[in-house]
Structure 1
């Protein structure tokens, strides 16, 4: 479903059909566009198609949905739908005009449709239209769908229309053969990608920049409950999916502890997130901000080897820090310890160090932990959550469920692709009508051109370069790192966690950008065969975008990720 998010104020018939198609297991390879605005309408200044179904090997069906519980057609040809005034413009004419508008636009963009059935139908979702409405030369009987079709099977009803409509075209168009009709999967993706940019109007990002910043900073009722929970319990674990406000809560928790006259630490795992925390807490005294490894190096009193390998950071450095604390670390234990990204630090050597950094230790000290053990544990740490509870028997868990970061369409795409259960309870930010864009690319092809086009599209919407970030799951050899494109090489700069530089386009690995976000994100090099923990990295990369998301994804990976229900 594109978008995968059905607005709450959509007509009930559209909502019912949206959920019927979106939840079906019979739509393998289908692409369904909902509420497609038509700028170049054949009759009006502009129009809209309620649904455009692109079914590989079948064809394209434009559906006009009517949700009215009462439908009347009079002898003079006029219609009365529900309480609306009588009109001479029938729903079938609406559907037909939308269909021709879409067909004309696709043809003008060199999409070959000679052997592709492009059909229209009207779906009266709340009345038994097929038995209630008489035959009429105004429409073919196969173009009429009713409430019984919705209840007995929306997919089978659509296939019936496509089959009957194709037979009609075969009888009327010389050379049109049913055994040569339809589109393949790649052509379906191309049709969808051609329709989407043309027919969707987007809000200019610059007009909502201030509103976005205010929305991201303001706390929800759920977060205020979490803050209250901090006061009533000494050790608390806050868990929630990406975008649920864990880092903001960690910052606010540190500020509240400082206001009480306490001193302590706010630690995290990622270097870039550590830089951000230092910027956010720059005016607050009484708290030490660092990544765990920065703090461990300080405690050990020795720099890291110039070519330090994985084993040094995971085992040797924690041992050095622990030895230093046991030897002369009496003054290091602080009043409180706050740890963000705890899912990446919940392993025995790290917890041994953390235990000595807070008065009364992890078991009885003032300890507040924030993490996402379900989706963001991209480093192998075993069962970290069970380990925390074993170390801290009185640990209270508070679950965050409201998405505070992403606009609903991004959050809903992530929920679908990541198969989140139960996922987000709701989205705090309003829908702005812009869909995430997934651009299929062949495996092994340089993505520089697609990246440049994506940047220019976002710039055309009003985003400045410093509001964009390019992410990749590849630690080495990403498109941004290796591109030979002169403009990209001049514009790109590696993200360092500091305030973005004007006129520069940041890039980073997904691993390093975990815990951060940006107004617009372009994720490149998405190939499920290229990296370990691809599903987790995809989830993390997509959830970094607050407002706009473009993903350059290998064709087979896109198909596998959508699970055949795109």
Structure 2
């Protein structure tokens, strides 16, 4: 589908057909342009085609969609569409003119389309059209209505294109009889010529709103997992990146808060803790944030300048335990995200005292990815957790609802977890992960600027793009080109600029577009874990900038992708 999201103000019928065309397995090798602007219309100053279907072996079909609840034409040739004023403008003529405009434009580009059948049809999606099928103005197969929605859209439109081919052949157009046209290459060429004219029709607001609605729709399917809490007081949810764990943790915390319960929503990562706290702002009776931040608030301490692992991982938890022993204001419900990073005995001691009944008898929900997300030197702590709470119930999450299939599969393949997902909630948008090789810092900086420019062309705002690197000295933080540097800022302080962060710091968060830089090694468990986390942050677009030697090693594990 081009674009991968429907136009924001499209009528209901167009919205319906967009999703039917996108989700039908039978259209997997088709390209469908939605809301194509026609600057070179055969009759008007300009026009617009609702859908242009370009299907290998079938042809090109322009579909005019009418969403009205009723549609009829009287004996004087006047059209009555819903509550609109009567008009002499025939929707079949509209569709035909769109088709001829597109065909004429493609011919003007010197593209050989002599053997490609072009056709048009009108689909009354909301009505059983009261239009006689026999007419001088259209063929019976050009009329579709609400009843045709009972069949898969791929079958319906394939039948229309097959009928169009037969009609052309019957009229002596023998060159259209060959069923192998258009070829896949011809389809790509037609799309490449039409797409530049098309892209201006979609605004950034269209992309942003549709992406958010699409993600929310698929996350809502995870709600059923929360029903487990009604039957189980202590539940450990496990799942790979993108299976909705953070969403479920946040939703469970909101529900418990609105029930009048005292809630503690805890995670490991500082940036994620801040985001969760913002999302929980205004909900009563809750404390939300990173465990280290909550412990500092409990003790009233500030981190020492040279505080290392001994202070953060041992001394601070001991001081927090002393405070908890004295205050004794435990929560009714404890919810922990990123628990794979908190299964250390010192941290579990603190969590135990935070909760009424403790970990053994209290009410808690924990969410973790024990595959490749533990990058802080903590071993798989499920045995430790089960030792403290023998009656816990473990539930797996297996369907990815964050990433597009191509991004999710690439993240899994690169990190050696090819079978970690049982499926994807989101549809395939046809956009592969981009891989780019560099041999020097200067070359990587040039590639980074090029990728950022491309994302802006695709309507991604600066606040939707994040640049991630394994260390603080990544390409974004050390950019030398003033033009590039002026568009970048550290994540959390970026304002209207593109944010950059380390993979460690950004763990648990996601963004519509992610650029991963400074990948110099892909072998070894630590490198694979970092790649898994970094690549799985992207919801819609992903670019990976890697040293040429590392890319050759990585490429062997990737089944799909494109190189710059």
TM-score per shorter chain, which class? 0.5 to 0.7
Aligned twin of 1:560: 553
Aligned twin of 1:21: none
Taking the aligned partners of 2:319 and 2:529, their CA distance within structure 1 comes to 31
Aligned twin of 2:113: 44
Which of residues 325, 328, 331 in structure 2 aligns to 1:330? 328
Once the two structures are superposed, the pairs formed by residues 10-409 of structure 1 within 5 Å of their partners are 42-44=111-113, 85=166, 88=175, 206-218=205-217, 220=219, 223-326=222-325, 328-331=326-329, 333-409=330-406
Taking the aligned partners of 1:377 and 1:471, their CA distance within structure 2 comes to 18
Over 3 Å counting, the alpha-carbon distance change for 1:232 and 1:529 in structure 2 is: closer
Taking the aligned partners of 1:308 and 1:269, their CA distance within structure 2 comes to 17
Query: Which structure would you say has the larger RCO, counting Cα contacts within 8 Å and 6 or more residues apart?
Result: 1
Cα-to-partner distance string for 1:176-228 (whole Å, 9 max, x where unaligned): xxxxxxxxxxxxxxxxxxxxx99x98987642311221233346575222110
2:243–2:400 Cα contact (<8 Å) kept: yes
Query: What is the TM-score when the length of structure 1 is the normalising length?
Result: 0.65
2:414–2:554 Cα contact (<8 Å) kept: yes
Taking the aligned partners of 2:323 and 2:184, their CA distance within structure 1 comes to 77
Aligned twin of 1:465: 462
Taking the aligned partners of 1:479 and 1:564, their CA distance within structure 2 comes to 25
User: Does the residue aligned with 1:356 lie in a helix, a strand or coil?
Assistant: helix
Which of residues 525, 532, 541 in structure 1 aligns to 2:534? 541
Deviates more, 1:356-365 or 1:309-318: 309-318
User: Does the residue aligned with 1:548 lie in a helix, a strand or coil?
Assistant: strand
1:206–1:463 Cα contact (<8 Å) kept: no
Over 3 Å counting, the alpha-carbon distance change for 1:427 and 1:228 in structure 2 is: same
Taking the aligned partners of 2:204 and 2:512, their CA distance within structure 1 comes to 9
Deviation at 1:533, TM superposition (A): 1.2
Cα-to-partner distance string for 1:450-483 (whole Å, 9 max, x where unaligned): 1111111011111111211111112x31111111
1:42–1:97 Cα contact (<8 Å) kept: no
Deviation at 1:348, TM superposition (A): 0.7
Aligned length: 413
Over 3 Å counting, the alpha-carbon distance change for 1:389 and 1:97 in structure 2 is: closer
Q: CA RMSD in A?
A: 3.8
Over 3 Å counting, the alpha-carbon distance change for 1:96 and 1:399 in structure 2 is: closer
Taking the aligned partners of 1:449 and 1:473, their CA distance within structure 2 comes to 19
2:218–2:426 Cα contact (<8 Å) kept: no
Taking the aligned partners of 1:473 and 1:334, their CA distance within structure 2 comes to 36
Over 3 Å counting, the alpha-carbon distance change for 1:100 and 1:293 in structure 2 is: closer
Aligned twin of 1:138: none
Taking the aligned partners of 1:92 and 1:211, their CA distance within structure 2 comes to 36
Cα-to-partner distance string for 1:281-323 (whole Å, 9 max, x where unaligned): 1110100012111122223333211121222212222222223
Taking the aligned partners of 1:287 and 1:13, their CA distance within structure 2 comes to 47
Q: Give 5+ residue unaligned stretches, structure 1.
A: 1-6, 16-34, 48-80, 106-196
Over 3 Å counting, the alpha-carbon distance change for 1:217 and 1:370 in structure 2 is: same
Q: Does 1:480 align with 2:476?
A: yes
Q: Does 1:414 align with 2:407?
A: no
1:334–1:359 Cα contact (<8 Å) kept: yes
Q: Give 5+ residue unaligned stretches, structure 2.
A: 1-21, 31-55, 57-105, 117-161, 560-564
Deviation at 1:447, TM superposition (A): 1.5
Query: What is the TM-score when the length of structure 2 is the normalising length?
Result: 0.65
Q: Does 1:501 align with 2:501?
A: no
Over 3 Å counting, the alpha-carbon distance change for 1:513 and 1:13 in structure 2 is: closer
Taking the aligned partners of 2:369 and 2:440, their CA distance within structure 1 comes to 31
Taking the aligned partners of 1:243 and 1:428, their CA distance within structure 2 comes to 10
